[in-house]
Chain A
Amino acid sequence: MKVIKEKHAFAMRWTHWVNFPVLAIMIWSGLLIYWATGVYTISIFGYTLIKFFPAKFYEFFNLRRRLAEGMAFHFLFMWFFAVNGFLYILYTIISGAWRELIPKKSSFKEAWLVVLHDLHIRKTTPPQNKYNAAQRIAYTSIIIMGFGSLVTGLAIYKPAQFYWITWLCGGYHFARILHFALTMGYMLFFVVHVVQVILAGWNNFRSVIAGFEVLEVSAVPEFQPLPEEPNLKVDPNEPEK
């Protein structure tokens, strides 16, 4: 029979779904800004492997010559990003949900088992509570990354007034690189996250919108009336026929 099991609190679902469009706008407006000095590349031995970004990319997403617009959007939606993130962290602290979220000592070993399992290399299912070891690591990382975006963002936004933040981030240049790299990290996370959600299926997806999952339980003892008293008259040692 089916049983409803509560999984995700309202605060978690709310902040998750607010964050999604807000972060999308932050990334888009960030690209409008980045275009103006889009200098980052990945090079090995002087050979450029990847250029962030090729002209076609800017053209395709219509990101060119929109710096003022990008800044205006970026410095409005940063408030929603920050407040929403702050509310989520507040919720995990007050509710104690952080206990299910932050990695345990064993998580780092277990996470490999999760990866091997998900890649269909290992058959055994690793322990899955609310979040498995790999999820604990991934979801905690993404929150730290969000905080990192905030801090590195401030470091390049107000390097004179918050000079100590800029210093902590390794200077203006490095802070800008980190800010950019974190964004690339979100894109990577997004791809893996969406694939995993699709693979995990409807029940899991629903729990992040409706809050509950439906479990199939084979027997619930208290509702099963015993047919009759156990027959104690039968000699238990007598072999069955």
Chain B
Amino acid sequence: MSQKNSTIEQKIKRRNFISFGTFAVFSAAAFGGWKWLYNSEKEEMGITARARLPLRKAMNKTEVFFRNFFSNNHLVKTYPKSWAAKNVRVNSQIGLEKDGFNPEEWELSVIKGDKDILKLRMADIKALPKTEIIFDFKCVEGWDQIQHWAGVRFIDFVSYYHLENQSKMQYVGMKTPNSKYYVGLDMPSAMHPQTILAYEMNGEPLTLDHGAPLRLIIPVKYGIKNLKRIGTISFSDKRPGDYWARHGYDYYSGL
């Protein structure tokens, strides 16, 4: 073997060693990083819960990024009435427990401030301008359905009841009367022109399954934010509790 050949042989060996060594170190580091993330601690029960802490941080950062693209001019696509589903899917009954609920005696509580609660009956809400929407309702599970809802737009509701100061806050919270289901909404999404406090589905009053007498329809969010049977509406600069965000889902859940 000539001198030249042996140096090439050495060179090959050296480069193999460096490259595969580096590759092994990085692979091990990546695997370690994955193990760390996969086994990372879950959040304590709070406004959000049950997600791995680093993933929750990432969700919140991703929310900040995508909020830059939110606009009241970005409207959800609407459809002709004839496209709307006749059998509207019921996916969850959480918060709709019987426990003595009587839709006739229902009242909506709007918490305007400390000890300043606005109590409204169905007639008060129906007196406001009615808006219809036929849109593709999207579930976080991946299914969707074109549905027809009608009620009062949240912005109309806010302006009629002079909730301007409240709407300057960052979040809206809504709860069922028994407080078993609750959602937190960022104010821009709540004030989106297609967000509706709905009392009709397919031109008929809501059934109990679909959240009678009044429910939230917020097309810029996944279905999990479309709370049925609204009992209380509140305003806050801090995130209100959110049922599914406490089960590991993204708080924002915006579309």
Contact = CB atoms under 8 A, between A and B. Distances in A.
Interface of A: 1-4, 17, 21, 25, 33-34, 36-37, 39, 67-69, 71-73, 75-76, 79, 158-163, 172-173, 176, 206, 209-212, 214, 223
| Interface residue SS majority, chain B | mixed
Contacts of B249: 68, 71
A68 B69 contact: no
Nearest to B247: A68
Chain B interface category by residue count: 35 or more
Contacts of B5: 1-2
A73 B250 CA distance: 11
Given A4-B8, A160-B74, A160-B76, A36 B141 contact: yes
Contacts of A68: 50-51, 244, 247-249
Contact of A72 (B12, B58, B140): B58
B42 to A, nearest CB: 10
A187 B18 CA distance: 31
B77 interface: yes
B230 interface: no
Contacts of A21: 30, 34
30 contacts: A1-B5, A4-B11, A4-B12, A4-B15, A17-B23, A33-B142, A37-B143, A67-B140, A68-B50, A68-B244, A68-B247, A68-B248, A69-B51, A71-B140, A71-B250, A72-B51, A72-B56, A72-B248, A72-B250, A73-B55, A75-B58, A76-B58, A76-B59, A79-B62, A158-B69, A161-B69, A176-B142, A206-B19, A210-B20, A211-B15
Contact of B62 (A75, A206, A210): A75
